Amino acid sequence: MAQVTLCRADELQDGRCTVFLDDGDAVLVIRFDGRLYALDGHCPHQYAPLEGGTIENGILECPLHGWRFRLDDGQSPDMPMACVRTYRVAQVDGAIVIER
């Protein structure tokens, strides 16, 4: 797997979704309760952007249609077949890095 640097760690705010492009793909990076998460930046429902979604109890809600996904594994708590891709993410030397 290749490591890709997305941003400086100080660019992320706790509880906010930030989108970065990786080889043309939108990757949503979230710092929530001190942990880092990285997910596909689009909802599988009508390819809606997940940026701007709300986070509650570790679950991200799509701002357009309300579909929900767990930050830790991308699975929907409401629909077993719905999910978004997740990436391994880490802070390395002051940078946010994902594996793809």
Identity of the residue numbered 38: A
Mean pLDDT by 10 residues, the chain (100 residues): 89 88 89 94 94 94 96 96 96 92
Encoding tokens for residue 10?
A: 């100080």
Total Cβ atoms within 10 A of residue 54: 13
The residues, ordered by sequence, that sit 6+ positions from 24 with a Cβ below 8 Å of its Cβ are: none
Tell me which of 2.60.40.1220, 2.102.10.10, 3.40.50.150, 2.40.30.130 is the CATH number of domain 15-83. Answer: 2.102.10.10
Domain residue limits, the chain: 15-83
| Cβ neighbours of 42 (radius 10 Å) | 19
Judge contact between 41 and 28, C-beta under 8 A.
Answer: yes
